[in-house]
Amino acid sequence: MSDLEQFEVWLREQDRSVQTVRGYLADLRQFAAWFEGTNGKDLQVEEVTPADVREYRGWLQTVRQAGAATVRHHLMAIRAYCRWGMAMGRIERDPTVRVKMPREEKLSPGWLTKQEQYRLVREAERGIGAAATEMRRRLAVRDWALVVFLLNTGLRIAEVCALKWEDVQMGERSGWVMVRGKGNKTRRVPLNGEARKALKTWLEESRDEQGSVFDLTPSGAYRRLVELGRRAGVEVHPHTLRHTLAKNLVDAGVGLHEVAALLGHSSLNTTRVYVTPGERDLERAVKVLEG
């Protein structure tokens, strides 16, 4: 097997998520292309030096004009590759250890206000009413159900797209879904009335209790959310609705431990980032002085 293939096997053995493995391999292929173009030789873990890593970081920042988060992702992939090299006995020292990661600006993650949530759901409902064909209505109901479900469960895009109907249990007054999260960890997420209504309405429309619940890939779901957001005049990204649920729960007085459990966070520090006061919160805070 090639180094990349062996590295992939090692990552999976470390219980990394499918998304992490895919991302690391894509970033490492880019590094390999840069390495070959710069040094005139194929990438081998034994050949990587701290100077290479620093030079690549600079290239990403100046030539590619990549942001801090993107540069960090690339360097983390190289770091994992070098740690694989150490685990395999190919190298004795990690050449990335002394290379500083670029600092990320600590911005509050985006969430939707109550008004923006209303506009997004209303636009999804309007799409159902405007559907001219049976197929268009079916897709519009699916999109509406997806939005409502995400706003009330906070699942990651990849998690909701991996849901199968066999993972769903619903009754008149309660329900839950079994979610396969990062690192193949599972958690049971309760369904409130709005989430159950969305799933039941979609099931009645699709009449298909087999296989995938929403029959969407993560990229497909992302495109549908972005399009709905565009039509509603609301900026929506993959994690926006997840952040929104977390903020709604905290604003309603739910404790961080419960929010962390619902979102599948192993650390409360991760959850705290989701509920860091945003610009609108600070605007409201200073308005109390207006008398």
Residues 40-65 have pLDDT tens digits of 989 999 999 999 999 999 898 888 87
Report the C-alpha gap between 174 and 155 in whole angstroms. 18
| Structure confidence at residue 34 (pLDDT) | 93
Phi/psi of residue 75, nearest 5 degrees: -70, -35
Walking along the chain (291 residues) 10 residues at a time, the average pLDDT comes out as 86 84 91 91 91 90 82 91 92 88 61 93 95 94 96 90 93 88 79 95 88 90 91 85 88 83 73 62 55 50
| Structure confidence at residue 120 (pLDDT) | 96
- Judge contact between 85 and 46, C-beta under 8 A: yes
- Judge contact between 36 and 42, C-beta under 8 A: yes
Give the neighbor-by-neighbor strand order of the sheet with 175-180.
168-170, 175-180, 186-190
Q: Which two tokens stand for residue 258?
A: 């419960």
Dihedral of alpha carbons 268, 270, 275, 280, sign: positive
Structural domains of the chain ordered from first start: 3-87 (1.10.150.130), 114-283 (1.10.443.10)
